Amino acid sequence: MYQFSAPLPISIITHIFVILIIIMLTEQYNAYSFLLERTARRVKQYAQYQFNCGDFGITVDQWSILKNLRQHADLSQKELAEYCGKDQPTLTRIVDLLVSKNLVERRTNPTDRRSFVVHLTPEGERKIDTLTVNVNEIRMQAWQNLDEVDFEHLKRILNTIYDNLDIGGKS
């Protein structure tokens, strides 16, 4: 092992100490990011597993599109993609599947005849009505053993993380 003939200056020791702290904090935040990603993945996997076991006839992603269409009415695919957090090609593929199931339809956009909007069909409305109770029960599984204080902390933390990540001028 190398031995210094003279003690290291305080500034070098301080610099090394700061670097070590940054490395430790980075590893800690990487662990938090991993936990967040792992939990989000588990929530979706659990929900999809329950959708499959319940023979719902749609996926979790398809459910998200149906619910957003009910909440926001006729939307362009671009708007729908933003609400659902999907890229355009993925959303187009999912909408195509929903059209084939007669749960949504594409209609000419009344304000721009060159484009269209995605519209929830009566069959899509019935699918939402039929599955809402089941989906709510599935979602509640994740929240067992948590109280209101936990929810408030989680909401505050997740909103802060979300707000910290500005993408192209959008929060």
Give the per-residue pLDDT at 13: 65
Give the per-residue pLDDT at 10: 64
Per the structure block, which two tokens stand in for 76?
Answer: 């362009």
The answer to whether 58 touches 123, Cβ cutoff 8 Å, is no
CB crowding 8-35: b at 16 or more within 10 Å, else e: eeeeeeeeeeeeeeeeeeeeeeeeeeee
pLDDT in tens for each of the 171 residues of the chain?
555 555 546 666 676 766 767 776 677 777 888 888 898 899 999 999 999 999 999 999 999 999 999 999 899 889 999 999 899 999 999 999 999 999 999 999 888 888 899 999 999 999 999 999 999 999 899 888 989 999 899 899 889 988 988 877 655
Give the per-residue pLDDT at 167: 77
User: What digits encode the pLDDT tens for the residues 39-54?
Assistant: 889 999 999 999 999 9
Give the per-residue pLDDT at 162: 86
Give the per-residue pLDDT at 111: 85
Give the per-residue pLDDT at 124: 97
